[in-house]
Structure 1
Amino acid sequence: MMRALMFTTLVLTAFSALGSGCSSEDYFCDDSGCYYCDGLGCRPVDPPDRPPCVGDYECPAGTACTDLGCVGECTSDDECEMGTECRSGSCVAPTEPIPVPNPGVCTTNDECLASGLVCLDGVCTPDDSVCSADTDCAAGELCISGECLADDERCQFDHECGEGRSCINSECVTGCTDASSCDAGFMCLAGVCTPPITEGCTSNAACGGDSVCVDGACRPECAVDTDCGDGFRCSTAGACVVDTRPRPFCSNDSECMEGRVCRSGVCRTPCETSEQCRRFDVQFNVCSEESLCITTNEATSDCATQSDCLTGQSCSDGICR
């Protein structure tokens, strides 16, 4: 009796398949799913595995990040893999809901840097110029505030920054006690002259025509440094940012007083003893192993970047504080 019942079930299944267009080798989808059919009947076809994602930047070309993972984009069923059909521009199984897009929305670079990305136009976007660690940069470069900077673009000691600026975490910044000690248009924030905080943005559309949304703020768009105002430079993201690069006093010996030499943008006095240095300059008061007068901090420095210091410390004028 049981064998007869099983045989009857198989026959009914076969007739059902024939009624659904399976009289020959075929593939189709209906409300219950997708099926592959041949002379033996119809077998369900599962949708392909989809890699999980947190933004479009993690998905292969031709797919988009959604709550279902990386889903193929389409305009017709022919563009979808077996097990799926084209619905609302996405390749999904008939039994799956319409996926919810998850492009990787962001407001600041901090939300993207862990993946080596930058927040542009409100979306975490791959950018070769953005780094999250020194290992992301070329030889001789260090990762400072998300940008790979060469030796001459970062500082270690205050005297490399020029008058009125200090070297903190490899960047030359202007110290202040109130806004009156900052350049016009800047404000004093945590003892550092800072550009005014503009209304936050999440996309370029929220900014003016010549501005872009970078790191949650509208910044003037640029291609070269001269597109930006005094005290600003054009970043690798194409936006005007505060210029924190060192300001060398000299580029060769001829720019120094007679008897001095230009080293790392600073005119140095040759010496044999520290006493000789102190007679010439109260700042460069130590005679180095290279027989040049240097500052006390240069002689006792314990950091070149913030990564050399303990958590919570900054590298200020070559010393962890």
Structure 2
Amino acid sequence: MLHRLAFISFVTAGAMAVLGGCAQEDYYCDADGCYYCDGVGCRAVDPPDRTLCRGDFECPSGELCTDLGCAASGCTADADCVEGTVCREGWCVSPTEPNPTPTPGECTNNDDCDADLECVDGTCTPRVTPPACTVDGDCGTAQVCLDGECRDVDDTCHFNTECGPGRVCVDQRCTEACSASNPCPEGQMCDADVYCVDVTPVDECVQNTDCESGQVCVDGSCKDECSTDAQCSEGLYCAAGRCQIDDRPNPFCTQDSDCMAGAVCRNGACRSPCTEHAECPRFDVALTFCLDMVCATTNEATSDCTGASDCMSGQSCVDGVCR
């Protein structure tokens, strides 16, 4: 009789355990995880895989970048979160995860960001530029790869003659020429007494609100927003929605009739035709070679580079010569 009562008590206790636990709810979470349950038992519900991120821009809508990866934010109850996660302090997390720390990708200038990102409004964001490239083959027809950007061939230079007066060709970009008596524009400094280079940003801004209306904070400097070249100041042009230094060639002819009598138009520049070297110094002492039937400078005739990649580390290609 005592053995029979003990057996009944054991069965009753087991049934109460089932009724009081999994059998009463299909889905629940505790400190160890989330589960689907029935009268037989429970199976774990894994949280969704997290997307690794460098900033909010790499996360889906409704999620923010954290040290755990992309995480949904703004919840007020577990029901606001996907299965496998619970709502904790406004974040949807797995019961076993710590509270996430936001990592939106804050920055003060481009040095704080990866190479394919730029610092805009205090946050690292994808560069708003032509497609990234490593070789010319990565670019479209009539484009070349210049400093990781695809650029139209017409927007690059090889020699000073393509840039127009007062500019020199440096690493395929037309750059303001300078000297002790010819200083650079504001925001630039004279390198090697030959050409102007941008001064390292002084972090005049961190986010757009630090700039005037109509400007955006890029790489620690306030840049005017634009949609056309006409909205930019002299020496600047509109690219990627903001005014930037105009480093494009400045052709001053498109056909022979644009040049003085006897000259021909080649690559946007008026050139003196020739048949032999001796003819050229008569036009200009700097013209010492007859190259492809037009007079050329020594640098043009004996060029050893077209861009920085052709030169030693720390050198630039200036007018076809590494220096």
Range of TM-score over shorter length: 0.7 to 0.9
Correspondence for 1:211 among 209, 212, 215: 215
Distance 1:198 1:151 in 2: 33
Runs of 4+ in 1 over 6 A off after TM superposition: 8-14
Q: CA deviation at 1:226?
A: 0.9
**1:244 corresponding residue in structure 2:** 247
Q: Does 1:102 align with 2:106?
A: no
Q: CA deviation at 1:266?
A: 0.9
Which amino acid in structure 2 is aligned with residue 226 of structure 1? A
Q: CA deviation at 1:45?
A: 3.0
SS at match of 1:70: strand
Distance 1:101 1:9 in 2: 51
Deviations 1:96-122 (A, max 9, x none): 2321111222333354453x3332212
Unaligned runs of 5+ in 1: 1-7
CA RMSD of aligned residues (A): 3.1
- Kept in 2, the 8 Å contact 1:113–1:131? The answer is no
Q: Which moved more, 1:192-201 or 1:216-225?
A: 192-201
Instruction: Label 1:308 to 1:225 Cα distance change in 2 as closer, same or farther (>3 A).
Output: same
Which amino acid in structure 1 is aligned with residue 175 of structure 2? V
Listed as ranges, the matches of 1:1-321 within 5 Å are 16=17, 18-20=19-21, 22-24=22-24, 26-73=26-73, 75=75, 77-112=78-113, 114=115, 116-127=116-127, 129-130=129-130, 132-135=132-135, 137-144=139-146, 147-178=149-180, 181-182=182-183, 185=186, 188-190=189-191, 191=193, 192-193=195-196, 199-236=203-240, 238-288=241-291, 290-321=292-323
Distance 1:50 1:9 in 2: 45
The TM-score normalised by the length of structure 2 is 0.82
* Sequence identity percentage: 49
**2:4 corresponding residue in structure 1:** none
Quick check: which has more Rg, 1 or 2? 2
Which amino acid in structure 1 is aligned with residue 313 of structure 2? T
Deviations 1:22-77 (A, max 9, x none): 21561112344322212222233332332332223333444322101122345354
Instruction: Label 1:219 to 1:128 Cα distance change in 2 as closer, same or farther (>3 A).
Output: closer
Q: CA deviation at 1:257?
A: 1.7
**2:6 corresponding residue in structure 1:** none
Unaligned runs of 5+ in 2: 1-8
Q: Which moved more, 1:263-272 or 1:88-97?
A: 88-97
Instruction: Label 1:244 to 1:16 Cα distance change in 2 as closer, same or farther (>3 A).
Output: farther
SS at match of 2:287: coil
Distance 1:125 1:9 in 2: 64
Instruction: Label 1:126 to 1:185 Cα distance change in 2 as closer, same or farther (>3 A).
Output: closer
Distance 1:38 1:269 in 2: 92
